[in-house]
Amino acid sequence: MSTTKGGRTSKVTHLVLRQMKEQGERIAMLTAYDASFARLCDQAGTDVLLVGDSLGMVIQGGDNTLGVTMEHMIYHCRAVARGVSAATGRSMVVGDLPFMSYQTGLDEALRNAGRLIKEGEAEAVKLEGGAEYVPLVERMARIGIPVMGHIGLTPQSIHSLGGYRVQGREQAQADKLRSDAQALAEAGCFAIVLECVPKELAAEITASLPIPTIGIGAGPECDGQVLVLYDLLGMNEEFRPRFVKRYDNLALRVRTAIDSYISEVRDGEFPASEHSFGRDKEPRAAAQSAASPRVAAAGGVVSEIDPTAGLSCVPLHPLPGGKR
């Protein structure tokens, strides 16, 4: 099982996140939209997986997040929850409430939040906005739905904000963000995302709150950070916002792998005999020792003692029923 640098292996909950803030331990959050990436993120030790409505842009190819529906969110939340469950089960799964799923009234908002928990198997929900949503946050907290807030640049308000702009540089904006953060914390939010706000303001808000702040484009003083997984991996070479650090160039690596596959298919090199079945039944390979651990690697599931596995292998967590 993968662990964090601090050695944490227990299930992450909103109580654990509060404890991490109190102990000065930084929180690592990433977006995830499917079971495969969720499994890898969980194995790597990610604290929180956000099933963001950013899927409208990253997965669906839209210009913004406004077209994402509750059905989309439930589908992707369920996939991510399954991926986490198939790995260590440690990561907390948070689902975004999409545009117009909570803005039209308390009752509809509560129903939709409940759907993300019941049908989507999320463990918390996230909503965008400030003090105007205090009554909703209070209601959700009373009925047992953990809520993560989100202030600053709120993508669901992209038209009213006039584009993707840093928020809080003017004094009036900064004062409103401070009061919104305080109001959301007092209403019962367990954490707040600060998106694209000046680092000095983010540091002030972080120091003033008893709950964690998760920054994206908000400087290093937040209690945690979040990035879109595809941005971190370099999946879109044209998208280069200032706040993103690329830890890989997966776009190039994926294209290279696919190019190799296409070349081998056209040259008749793939499939080779080892990838094919004969008319006669071949003897089954010797069964692997039950004591031999299994690991997940880029090339599939291989033995931990396999010298070809490479150094990036991660031991798998035993699944329910004794499966590995």
- Report the alpha-carbon distance of residue 203 to residue 221 in Å, rounded: 5
- Report the alpha-carbon distance of residue 181 to residue 211 in Å, rounded: 10
CB contact set of 89 (below 8 Å; sequence gap of 6+): 11, 42, 317
Annotation marks residue 195 as catalytic: yes
- Report the alpha-carbon distance of residue 175 to residue 179 in Å, rounded: 6
Residue ranges of alpha helices (H) inside 145-266 are 158-161, 171-187, 199-208, 229-232, 250-266
Q: What is the pLDDT of residue 232?
A: 97
Q: What is the pLDDT of residue 283?
A: 75
Q: What is the pLDDT of residue 294?
A: 42
Q: What is the pLDDT of residue 42?
A: 98
Burial of 250 (0-12, 13-18, 19+ CB in 10 A): middle
Of 166, 206, 202, the residue nearest 185 (C-alpha)? 206
Q: What is the pLDDT of residue 308?
A: 45
- Report the alpha-carbon distance of residue 36 to residue 287 in Å, rounded: 27
* Residue 314 · residue 42 · CB < 8 Å: no
Q: What is the pLDDT of residue 5?
A: 47
* Residue 98 · residue 57 · CB < 8 Å: no
- Report the alpha-carbon distance of residue 303 to residue 288 in Å, rounded: 9
Q: What is the pLDDT of residue 32?
A: 98
Q: How far, rounded to the nearest angstrom, does the alpha carbon of residue 23 sit from its chain's CA centroid?
A: 23
Angle separating helix axes 171-187 and 134-143, nearest 10 degrees: 20
What domains are there in the chain, each with its CATH number? Answer: 14-232 (3.20.20.60), 287-318 (no CATH)
Task: Single out the catalytic residue among 121, 128, 195, 221.
Answer: 195
Contacts 24+ apart (CB under 8 A), 103-112: 106/135, 106/136, 106/139, 109/136, 110/136, 110/139, 110/140, 110/143, 110/145, 112/70
DSSP notation for 109-134: HHHHHHHHHHTS--SEEE--BSGGGH
The whole-number mean pLDDT for each consecutive block of 10 residues of the chain, a chain of 324 residues, reads: 54 98 98 98 98 98 98 98 98 98 97 98 98 98 98 97 96 98 98 98 98 98 98 93 95 98 98 93 59 41 40 48 46
